[in-house]
Structure 1
Amino acid sequence: MNKLPKKICALASYRKNQYDRYREISVDKETFSNSYDEMMVSAKSKLKEMENKGFKVVKIDVDIEELIEWCQHRKVTINPESRTKFTMEKLKGMISSGLINI
């Protein structure tokens, strides 16, 4: 019997000292938690939810300045779609370089 491929997803992990800047630069800032600590509670809940659904969750460290540069290079705004693409690109890079095994 063939093994089914593992489900994997990326969860962006933002740095506490960059959280205010992250909110400032995002077009959807009104949807964000008011504080880093509130955001972490929500992120931990999302992590457990995804793991319970059978996903291998990989936390991806996001440097805000790197995200800004990535978006500027692609001429896109910093929004949910671009943040997801950025995070997935980092995950794919980690997989292809062997940092993460599937």
Structure 2
Amino acid sequence: MALQHQAGICWIKEEQWQRFIDVADDADMLENSWQEWAEKTEEMIITFAEKGIVVNKVPVDVESLIIWCNERERGINSSSRAEYVTQLMTTQPEKSDTRH
């Protein structure tokens, strides 16, 4: 049986999208709406699954992300989100929503 690779991806709820855009340092690099972002994220998950990589949607509360980044003096960007998601996956794996 082949070893399956896993990854996590930041998943923002639709009702938190505007707050997320307001605080993200890289908001100009993100999609214009939650719907566009969600569709792109789903496509990415499918692409990775086709390559044998299981991607877990990791629900991220925007206010918790802000606190986490501030405590570490980090900007809110793709790098810090990835690190935050990794921490959530290793400390609370039951909160992940596996999609493949």
Into which bin does the TM-score normalised by the smaller protein fall? 0.7 to 0.9
> Considering only aligned residues, what root-mean-square deviation do their CA atoms show, in Å?
1.5
Which residue of structure 2 aligns with residue 53 of structure 1? 51
| Long gaps (5+) in structure 2 | none
Q: Kindly indicate whether residue 55 of structure 2 is the aligned counterpart of residue 76 of structure 1.
A: no
Q: Which ranges of 4 or more aligned residues in structure 1 deviate by more than 6 Å?
A: none
Which residue of structure 2 aligns with residue 31 of structure 1? 29
Q: Kindly indicate whether residue 44 of structure 2 is the aligned counterpart of residue 67 of structure 1.
A: no
1: CA distance, partners of 2:92 / 2:67:
19
Q: How far off is 1:93 after superposition?
A: 1.4
| Long gaps (5+) in structure 1 | none
2: CA distance, partners of 1:91 / 1:21:
23
Q: How far off is 1:55 after superposition?
A: 1.0
Secondary structure, aligned partner of 1:34: coil
Q: How far off is 1:72 after superposition?
A: 0.7
1: CA distance, partners of 2:92 / 2:5:
16
2: CA distance, partners of 1:30 / 1:75:
21
- Distance change (3 Å), C-alpha of 1:30 and 1:13: same
Q: TM-score, normalised by structure 1?
A: 0.86
Q: TM-score, normalised by structure 2?
A: 0.87
Percent of aligned positions that are identical: 23
2: CA distance, partners of 1:10 / 1:69:
20
The partner residue of 2:83 within 82, 85, 99 is: 85
